Structure formats: structure tokens, C-alpha cells
Structure 1
């Protein structure tokens, strides 16, 4: 087999793989199917850039084909086509045209970028949430209501949400493909963006900046509810049910206080929880995911507690594989009871 044929087959295989991967993304996770006004504005910018690139490609291909045919070598014709090197007109042409095309793209891009970073007006009654990124989890502080959550950002449908983005350690990037583009979170600095959602549902978010070994697993969810249901969720977070109801849960609370309370906080618990080094576990039993990546069930919870670094490499969560079977079962029962 010649090298050319071998290379051609490799290109074909890679093309098919890329095509299949492109089709794996669900609509609710795609920037091409926005579910909010921010995503729609950014999709417009994507379309403008595609149209410009398509126009440039078409013009180049037309010129290329014309030159290929018009100046192809003919039998018996040894003449050399007219040389245009140093042509002032042509050099001005292919300098001015790109500038014009870049201006067409730059003006709406800059305007949209600044617009989405502005705080909504008081008339819009936007919800303000402070987002703090950690290696490798997300903290959401609802400044309007006075509580914090982790890993799940709950917002009401059809309402502007003003996000204040910062980082506790390294540079991260907040990205919910269906709701808005990427915005960096830098230590000691606060960036802002506004998002909203027009459809009820759960949207996947992730860190879009390489931030360490657990970067690919630094996921979170944006849960969008009707405003009435969101208000109910807020009321529940403000008065959470964190008291153990069974003997196993009571023992689990003891295990938690002995091993976990220095890092984790639980609002509404009988014992004061001030840990803020790790995710707030209030309402843990109602979350869809453990550590943002595992389905929330007893088996995965034990897997996470025993071997967190195997689930999410680089995580600062210590291993609790030293707990005996009874204490592990009690701790799981307590955590799953948190509402």
C-alpha cells in the first residue's frame, strides 16, 4: 500500500470519528441549541463568524479555480503569465478587505460581551449568585437569600441571573453550553455575566479551563424550575431538615462530627457546622450527583467516601476507608437523609 493511500484511509477514519463525536452531544448541552437569551445572542455571533468564513472560503476557492483553469499550462505554450508582485492595488485590496471583515465581527462581539457582563437593571429584579470555583468543585452563594449550596445552581425560569465569578485557587472557567459562553474565574478577581433560561430542565455545566488532574470531572448542574417551585426550594434551603430521624442516622451524625465537620458545613444541623473548605452538604440527599460526576446512590457514595482520589484525581477529599462497616453505613444514612 502506498503512503498516500495509507494517509487517505487515516484521514477518512479520523473524519468519521469526528463526525460521530459531533453527533453525541445532546441538544440541551449544545451551544447550537441555546435555551436562554444569553445563549441566543452568542449563537448570533457564531453565525456571523461562520458566514464571514464561508464568504472568504468561497471567494478564495473561486479565485483558485479560475487561476487554475485560466493559467494552466497548454501544450506548446511556454509563456509566463503577467507578474503582479508589488502591485499596490492588490496589496491594498487584500489588506483592507480583512480589516473590514474583522470590524464586522468585532463590533457586535465587543458590544455583546460588555452587555452580558453588565448588571441587570433594578426593574428586571435579577437574582444575584456568587460563584466560587475550587479544585474541583463549585460553590454557589445566594446573596439575596443568605445561604450557600454546592454543585447545583438552582435558578427560576425566565428570570435574569447575575453571576459574580471568582476562584479560590487557580484559574477556572464557568461554562453552561446551552445557557451561555465561557467566562474565566480568576483568584482575587471578580468577573460577571448574566444568564437566563427559557425552559425548565437540568443543564450540564463544566470547567472549561485546564485546572489540574481533576479538570475533566469538575462538572456541575444548573437546575431550572418554574418560579413557584424555585421559591419552595429557597424556603427549604433556608429551613433545611438536617436532624437525624433514626438510630443509624444519629450514629452517622456522630461519625460526621468526628471526621467531616472541620471541612463541610450543614445548615440546620443541631451541631454548629462552620466548615467552608469543602462543599456545603445541606440537601445532599436530594442532589442528582455525588462530586458532580457519580449518580447519587449508596453504592457510589461509599465508593466516593472510600476512594475519592480514584473518582476525581487530585481531589483534596481525604479517604474514609478506615471506617468500619457499621459506621460507613450510618454515615451514608445520615448524608442521604439531608434535605
Structure 2
């Protein structure tokens, strides 16, 4: 029993180190180590500089320690007192000057990056302005110059600077798209923080809330979808186009009574909860139920969207606790299917 306990005591530091290393691992699209934009690249380069400097320090310190242990170890029969170096001005200068040089090497690019990344593009006529509002537990994106308000999926044109103005509708959250930029807090009490980023290539980039905000903090995902400028213009036109209610009068009445009292579709409904215009084209439902085609082709992309909408509308609390959306378990099966089919068909043809 004692031998086993000693083994576990020796194994514990190794396991702790492995856990620390693995904690930095994850999906590639949610990693700061896979920069996909100039802002993220600048931050990544700064990380590499600091890691190289720290690694060099560790290697040198361990090498000197190993050399001293071997070179100056006490030999058998040697009872002489080693040479004392206390008060050596030469050594004191060396171990003072070297850290200062290393700090300067790291400090200069750090300060430069701080000023570069704090630029305000909110008044730049060439930038796309977006007001980001965080909610428990979803994201609202408003394009004030385009008259557009949407949710959960931030569509941006490639190569354009995106000027973000971040605020919160409730508690403290943090807007974070690691492959494109660092994070920025959305503070209560009316504070607004600003940042910018751009995406040179087309693609979908995962974003998350990076500040503990409640029981579904880990499920507060969103997407940034980068498309070419022509597709962005088509998306702008498509999301502004009029939207018709469900063709079935009974489903239309239920949708108006139960959904449009809070949600908006086109120019109909209220703005309290996520805008549902074009929800059939989004990458996910609720930010977490991903709309992908089944590998075995059992379900198509359209089937998956419908199924995700059906499950979400029926019982959102099951998938995102505390999301403040009431469940609709009292709806009949026909009403649930009808509303889910209608929303799944709200697609934006722009790509």
C-alpha cells in the first residue's frame, strides 16, 4: 500500500502537467494558435516571441544549473570551503542587465501591438460597423449603417475592416473569435468597448463568450461567416427583403401569437429576442445545434435544420439551461411541425 501511495505521489505532478498541456488543446477553429486574420496573426506573433524568450531562459538556467551541479559538486575527502561570490559586482550586473534586455525585447513589440490594436475604426468610412449586444445566452448583431439586425451569425465581407462596438443587455459577457481577434468584454452599466478585425479568406469562424456569465456560459456560441463582398451585398439585400407568414392560416396565427410577440421575421414582430430572418441558412440553431448533413446521408442538411428547430422550439431549456425562452410543449404536434418547417424554409440565397 505504501509503495502504491509513493508511486501516485510521483505520478501526480506528471498528470498535472499533462492536464495543463491538454487544457490548451481543442478544436482547431477555436484556437488562438490557428490565426486566420491580421489581428489574430499579430497576437500570435507576440505569443511566439514571448514563448521563445521564456524557453531560452529556461534552457539557459537549466544548463547552468546542470553545469554547476556537476562541475562544483563536493568530492570525496574535499573539506575546503568553496570560493565565495557574495557581493560580486560582475555577477550582479549580469543577472540584472540580461533580464532588462529580455524585457525590452518583449516590451517593445508588446507596446506597439497594444497601440496598433486599440485603433478606433468606428468612424472609418471604409469599415463595416457592427454593434454587438450580448444576452443570456445569445448574441445580437446590428449593422447601423445598413439598417440590419440579426443574431447568432455575424456575416462579414472578406478583406474589410469590421469595427465592433460591444455592449451587454444584462450581465458581463466577453466577445471572442480566437482565430480572428482577441476578446473584448461587454460591460454592464451602459459601457461600450470597441475593437476591430478582418478576415482575408472566406470561411466560418467559431466565436464564444469568454466570461463566466451563468449556467449556459459554455453554450453561448456564435459564428462569424466571411463571404466575398459581392455575396455580402446580396446577403444585405436578401435579409431586408419582405417575408411572408406561413401559408397555412392556422400555423400563421399560432406563429404570430406565440413567436412574433418576441422574435422578429423581416419587418414583423418584436425585437426582444433573436431575429429569425434567414434562420434556415444559419450554421446552427440556438448557437449549439449544428446544422450539418449526416455522415450516413440518413438526414440531409434541410432535415437537420428542421429537426434542430423542432427540438429547440419544443424544449430550449433542455439544450441551453437558463436561456429565458419559454418552452412550447403545449403546442400541438401539427403546430410544432408547421412552425419548424416554416422557419427551416426561411433561407437567404446569397452565396
Q: TM-score, normalised by structure 2?
A: 0.85
Evaluate the alpha carbon distance shift between residue 123 and residue 289 of structure 1 in structure 2; reply closer, same or farther with a 3 A threshold: closer
Q: 2:308 aligns with which of 290, 300, 305?
A: 300
Conserved 8 A contact 1:265-1:281: yes
Q: 1:285 aligns with which of 245, 269, 280?
A: 280
* Equivalent in the alignment of 1:331: 339
* Equivalent in the alignment of 2:108: 107
Conserved 8 A contact 1:141-1:147: yes
* Equivalent in the alignment of 2:138: 137
**Structure 1 residue 258 and structure 2 residue 257: aligned?**
yes
SS in 1 for 2:236: helix
Q: 1:274 aligns with which of 270, 273, 285?
A: 270
Conserved 8 A contact 1:252-1:332: no
* Equivalent in the alignment of 1:309: 317
Unaligned runs of 5+ in 2: 292-304
Q: Quick one: distance in 2 between partners of 1:221 and 1:18?
A: 27
Task: Select between 66-75 and 115-124 the one with higher mean Cα deviation.
Answer: 115-124
* Equivalent in the alignment of 1:236: 238
User: How far apart are residue 234 of structure 1 and its match?
Assistant: 0.7
SS in 1 for 2:182: strand
Evaluate the alpha carbon distance shift between residue 74 and residue 168 of structure 1 in structure 2; reply closer, same or farther with a 3 A threshold: same
Evaluate the alpha carbon distance shift between residue 178 and residue 192 of structure 1 in structure 2; reply closer, same or farther with a 3 A threshold: same
Task: Select between 108-117 and 162-171 the one with higher mean Cα deviation.
Answer: 108-117
Equivalent runs, 1:174-185 vs 2, <5 Å: 174-185=175-186
* Equivalent in the alignment of 2:295: none
Question: How many equivalent pairs are there?
Answer: 331
RMSD over aligned CA atoms reads: 2.5
Q: 2:195 aligns with which of 174, 193, 196?
A: 193
Q: Give a deviation string over 1:99-119, Cα, whole Å, max 9, x none.
A: 443333233223222322313
Conserved 8 A contact 1:132-1:139: yes
SS in 2 for 1:180: coil
Unaligned runs of 5+ in 1: none
Task: Select between 328-337 and 198-207 the one with higher mean Cα deviation.
Answer: 328-337
Evaluate the alpha carbon distance shift between residue 90 and residue 3 of structure 1 in structure 2; reply closer, same or farther with a 3 A threshold: farther
Q: Quick one: distance in 2 between partners of 1:209 and 1:14?
A: 24
Q: Give a deviation string over 1:138-179, Cα, whole Å, max 9, x none.
A: 111012201111000001111111111111112211111111
Q: Quick one: distance in 2 between partners of 1:169 and 1:124?
A: 31
* Equivalent in the alignment of 1:227: 229
Conserved 8 A contact 1:183-1:191: yes
User: How far apart are residue 307 of structure 1 and its match?
Assistant: 2.1
Conserved 8 A contact 2:122-2:129: no
Q: Quick one: distance in 2 between partners of 1:123 and 1:168?
A: 26
User: How far apart are residue 323 of structure 1 and its match?
Assistant: 1.2
Q: Quick one: distance in 2 between partners of 1:337 and 1:199?
A: 28
Conserved 8 A contact 2:157-2:229: yes
Q: Quick one: distance in 2 between partners of 1:149 and 1:259?
A: 20
Q: TM-score, normalised by structure 1?
A: 0.88
